[in-house]
Amino acid sequence: MAGLQRDFIGYGANPPVVKWPGGTRIAISVVVNYEEGSEASLLDGDEYHETNNEVPSPVPSGQRDLFNESFFEYGSRVGVWRILNLLDKYSVKSTFFCCALAFERNPEVARAVVERGHEVCGHGYRWEEYHNKTRDEEAEAIRMTVESLARTTGERPVGWFTRYGPSVNTRELVVEEGGFVYDSGVFNDDLPYYTEVHGKPWPVLPYSFETNDARFWRGGLNSVGDFYEYMKDTFDVLYEEGRTHPKMMSVGLHCRIAGRPARSRALDRFLRYARSHPGVWFARRDEIARWWLENYPPGTLR
């Protein structure tokens, strides 16, 4: 498990001077988490209903929470289309973290994601904590996810990220499954990097819970303005640093959160703001990973 050893140093005081396509100063990865219909549900045989909501549920865990169910349904019925249309408006190609069961339950969305040019990234068969699974259970979930997404979207995922991050087995299992190019199960850097899995280098693209609309329900964001300002300030710092040391920025969205009318305005304003700057590369995560592998193969950065 060499890839699971903690690294407190990273690139250190002298991060590499990387070159993004066209000499851009910052690579922005917009991630849309599509989970609606794959959350915990008594209808799917779970012993409890989903509790991850902005308002604590007063409904006993063994009873259906109809309000919470409708909260998730908004994301697939309305929110995802609002986000897709905003991405089209600014010609931004994103990465969809896709729960396979969610796409099975809304094949129109599954098709639209690919047709509009976005990446299909594995987000588990269901929106569940894979660190609670056995190694064999997690391996089977990865296999099922790959098979299902290939069927509903026509594309095989090459990236992986699961709810609340990986288990101690995830990275090895993703490599053993084959066909994957990267994972995003960390939050520890502003640039991609390599770790070691089964004795070989493995590319990791860090994600973010900072510039992420999930903070509306986890705390830290109280208004649409807060969300926009946080994304803008993050961009400004990384864009300024990018004059000499280009960086990567992740933006995390959820259809049932950022897809709401008011909150979508924060995304609209941010995309407009970032687009107004020269030297910005909006890219899918698979594009960033492949660029990294081609231009900065293992051993070329210290």
Q: What is the pLDDT of residue 2?
A: 53
Reported as a pLDDT band with limits 50, 70 and 90, residue 113 is very high
- Distance between first and last Cα of the chain: 22
What pLDDT, in 10s, does the model give residues 218-246? Answer: 767 778 999 999 999 999 999 999 999 99
What is the pTM assigned to this prediction? 0.95
Name, of 2-16, 53-67, 272-286, the range with top average pLDDT: 272-286
Q: What is the pLDDT of residue 50?
A: 83
Reported as a pLDDT band with limits 50, 70 and 90, residue 270 is very high
pLDDT above 70: residue 54: no
Reported as a pLDDT band with limits 50, 70 and 90, residue 55 is low
Average pLDDT, the chain: 94
Least confident range from 3-17, 20-34, 130-144, 192-206: namely 3-17
The four Cα atoms 31, 186, 236, 268 give a dihedral, to 10 degrees, of 20
Delineate the domains of the chain, giving CATH numbers in brackets: 19-295 (3.20.20.370)
Backbone angles phi, psi at 11, to 5 degrees: -80, -10
Please tell me whether residue 254 adopts helix, strand or coil conformation.
strand
Number of Cβ within a 10 Å radius of residue 234:
19
pLDDT above 90: residue 271: yes
Instruction: Write the single-letter amino acid at 81.
Output: W
What pLDDT, in 10s, does the model give residues 188-209? Answer: 999 999 999 999 999 999 999 9
